[in-house]
Amino acid sequence: MNGKLDNKVAFISGGSRGIGAATARRLAREGAQVAIGYGSSAIAAEALVEEIRAGGGQAIAIRADVADPASLTRAIDSAAAHFGRIDILVNNAGVLLLGPVDQFTLDDFDKTVAVNVRGVFVASKAALAHMPDGGRIINISSTNAGRMPFAGGAAYAMSKSALTGLAKGMARDLGARKITVNNVQPGPVDTEMNPAEGEFADLLHGLMALPRHGHADEIAGMVAYLAGPEAAFVTGADLLIDGGFAA
Q: Which residues contact 169 (CB under 8 A, 6 or more apart)?
A: none
For the whole model, what pTM was predicted? 0.97
Instruction: Tell me the domain boundaries of the chain.
Output: 9-238
pLDDT value at 42 more than 60:
yes
> For 9-238, CATH number?
3.40.50.720
pLDDT of residue 199: 86
Q: Does the pLDDT of residue 112 top 70, yes or no?
A: yes
pLDDT of residue 198: 85
User: Residue 2's pLDDT is what?
Assistant: 66
Confirm if 57 and 1 have CB atoms less than 8 A apart.
yes
How far apart are alpha carbons 18 and 5 in whole angstroms?
21
The rounded Cα 133 to chain-centroid distance in angstroms is: 21
Q: What is the pLDDT of residues 84-103, one digit of tens each?
A: 999 999 999 999 999 999 99
At a CB cut-off of 8 Å and minimum separation 6, what does 239 contact? 182, 183, 184, 185, 222, 226
Active site positions, annotated: 156
Whether the Cβ atoms of residue 148 and residue 104 lie closer than 8 Å to each other: no
- Name the pairing type of β-strands 136-140 and 180-186: parallel
Provide the sign of the torsion angle of the four alpha carbons 59, 61, 62, 68, taken in this order. positive
